[in-house]
Structure 1
């Protein structure tokens, strides 16, 4: 991606699509059981992206599939994010008010960043940390403004289950980072199909029914945009921004959801919305203004992803090359030491000296 601002825009677009899912679901789907909604959303994502992947065979391909060593990472991401996470959330919601749940769901961004910084050693400076704090604070204010602060009828067990769901999604985000060079559409399609089948299986086992065909189609279409396309963009952002930063941008999703709700059901937004929007805007601005630059060494690296011949891709081709860019093929990076501004993207996952 030629510009860091393009990568940030991709992450924010993913957040906007995901954030819009809740008010659209409320407007279209009615009182469907939670597991049924989750299953139809995920299945719509998987089928929709699968159709695009099938159609892509008849014109120029733009990505590549998963390599054998990446399948385990994908399996882990699906298990945590597509199966365990939704199941824990649905169980937690049975004894926890929605407003309180909204507050607890802010943990996902915090845990995603914590795992990225502590376990995978992504670099973090004061600007990025403060930006993440501002975005999370905005989410807390927004959720509190819906009435979470006054809800007292919840159980510790329900809250713990929702917190565990957030941990599962945080692990999912960090595992997906490990395979973010692969075709984002393949990753999102696989997640959608497995998670959709699992959640629908649970729903049917509990005696749920999908409802009228128009409801099913509406749910699957919503899932395709809000889960499928959103996840594709999220994976692309992971590739270029790293996990913590992408997770931070994705955490602004609730503001987009509330804004769309206000458009569907017009009313003057209250003070919590404007405070949350201001805090999240501040957080995004702190991230955008980040400039992380130092001398660093790239070890030899071989991988496959869509690229142009920039400073990190000065390689020859062992096949007839037309000169078209961007393009996708396996390539090797030779060791190089240089200095420039960078993110913890797929070419800059190096350690930093502390001291």
Structure 2
């Protein structure tokens, strides 16, 4: 696997990791649940503005380039929104009431594990020993990074946080089912839904809106750390599959700690360097993966941005100006060949 293939997921982790210390600086001025709502609203409204600007820029584009989500994909997307944007944050915020921050940080590492397990067991995504070992190394680094002696306390609150991780794992796997669609549009819809839900829930519990400066700051952090990050995460799902994208995204806490050191300078502990080493080992194991065998592509109809490579040898039933990549509904014929590949949108076959 090349670094170029992995960079969307790694950049998504960097942006999300950076949002954590920046959001932490705002926690004293706004309630946690309302902050979550503002972060998601920032992602949703920010991406909506980007989509509007892009639409104006492409006002003379072919009708085939118009974005949209096929009717068959809406159940998967709604399931992802309900699991990750509604149930997950609600369970997390409820669990945090009775769980200390150190325990919560440790438990949040469960999301990566559950994401991979669901991908491998339920959706039959392929994984060899190297990928499994890489996931273990990354998760072990995350656990070490957030570990504090005597911090892990299993309680009802802790179980609620694990439930939130399960919701986000389900969200990740369901989003993979629709990842061939426009990444900006998917991230925008998820951000708006999650933002409205969390904001209304927070206001219903008596939270007060923060000052204009704090609210605007939270939404700007949300645009980059939740909106752009989620769009890149969707691209990762499209080209890498769920487990591998989830593994790369699990290094987000490392980026968060590094940025926190810049904002609040301190000497990194020995545990930090060990955790960084474990995560680097995990990423290296994933990057050196080479999965190659003869495989058959079943007939497939879908829509996504593409170039006319070996998987896209089709004609067009509309005027085409030769611009690539472009996006339109297209059909894949049966094909049997052999080449290195990952469980992307064209390689979701069994082994």
CA distance, structure 1, for counterparts of residue 138 and residue 201 of structure 2: 34
Give the match's secondary structure for 2:293.
strand
* Contact map agreement 2:134 2:283 (CA 8 A) in 1: yes
CA distance, structure 1, for counterparts of residue 39 and residue 216 of structure 2: 10
Task: Give the alignment's TM-score, normalised by structure 2.
Answer: 0.96
* Contact map agreement 2:296 2:337 (CA 8 A) in 1: yes
The answer for the alignment partner of 2:204 in structure 1 is 205
Task: Give the alignment's TM-score, normalised by structure 1.
Answer: 0.95
The answer for the alignment partner of 2:88 in structure 1 is 85
5+ long unaligned stretches in structure 1: none
CA distance, structure 1, for counterparts of residue 28 and residue 53 of structure 2: 33
5+ long unaligned stretches in structure 2: none
The answer for the alignment partner of 1:351 in structure 2 is 350
User: Within the alignment, does 1:113 sit opposite 2:155 as a pair?
Assistant: no
CA distance, structure 2, for counterparts of residue 288 and residue 151 of structure 1: 33
CA distance, structure 2, for counterparts of residue 122 and residue 181 of structure 1: 16
- CA deviations 1:61-104 (Å, max 9, x no partner) are 77722111111111000000000000000011111111111110
Give the match's secondary structure for 1:150.
coil
* Contact map agreement 2:29 2:210 (CA 8 A) in 1: no
CA distance, structure 2, for counterparts of residue 234 and residue 295 of structure 1: 28
Q: How does 1:1-16 map to 2 (within 5 A)?
A: 4-16=2-14
Question: Greater shift after overlay, 269-278 or 128-137?
Answer: 269-278
The answer for the alignment partner of 1:41 in structure 2 is 39
CA distance, structure 2, for counterparts of residue 107 and residue 34 of structure 1: 21
User: Within the alignment, does 1:151 sit opposite 2:151 as a pair?
Assistant: yes
Q: How does 1:124-203 map to 2 (within 5 A)?
A: 124-144=127-147, 147=148, 149-151=149-151, 154=153, 156-203=155-202
* Contact map agreement 1:88 1:161 (CA 8 A) in 2: yes
The answer for the alignment partner of 1:22 in structure 2 is 20
CA distance, structure 1, for counterparts of residue 193 and residue 323 of structure 2: 36
CA distance, structure 1, for counterparts of residue 67 and residue 97 of structure 2: 41
* Contact map agreement 2:29 2:214 (CA 8 A) in 1: no
Q: How does 1:302-341 map to 2 (within 5 A)?
A: 302-341=301-340
CA distance, structure 1, for counterparts of residue 76 and residue 66 of structure 2: 18
Question: Greater shift after overlay, 319-328 or 272-281?
Answer: 319-328
CA distance, structure 1, for counterparts of residue 185 and residue 201 of structure 2: 24
* Contact map agreement 2:77 2:175 (CA 8 A) in 1: yes
* Contact map agreement 1:63 1:305 (CA 8 A) in 2: no
Judging changes above 3 Å, is the alpha-carbon distance between structure 1 residues 7 and 65 closer, same or farther for their aligned structure 2 residues? Answer: farther
Give the match's secondary structure for 1:57.
helix
* TM-aligned CA deviation for residue 155 of structure 1: 5.3
The answer for the alignment partner of 2:286 in structure 1 is 287
* Contact map agreement 1:21 1:257 (CA 8 A) in 2: yes
* TM-aligned CA deviation for residue 26 of structure 1: 1.9
Give the match's secondary structure for 2:57.
coil
* TM-aligned CA deviation for residue 31 of structure 1: 4.0
Give the match's secondary structure for 2:310.
coil
The answer for the alignment partner of 1:244 in structure 2 is 243
CA distance, structure 2, for counterparts of residue 333 and residue 90 of structure 1: 45
CA distance, structure 2, for counterparts of residue 328 and residue 25 of structure 1: 36
CA distance, structure 2, for counterparts of residue 65 and residue 278 of structure 1: 42
Count of equivalent residues: 346
* Contact map agreement 2:38 2:199 (CA 8 A) in 1: yes
CA distance, structure 2, for counterparts of residue 14 and residue 272 of structure 1: 24
CA distance, structure 1, for counterparts of residue 342 and residue 209 of structure 2: 44
CA distance, structure 2, for counterparts of residue 63 and residue 189 of structure 1: 16
Judging changes above 3 Å, is the alpha-carbon distance between structure 1 residues 7 and 224 closer, same or farther for their aligned structure 2 residues? Answer: same
* TM-aligned CA deviation for residue 151 of structure 1: 2.7
Give the match's secondary structure for 2:46.
helix
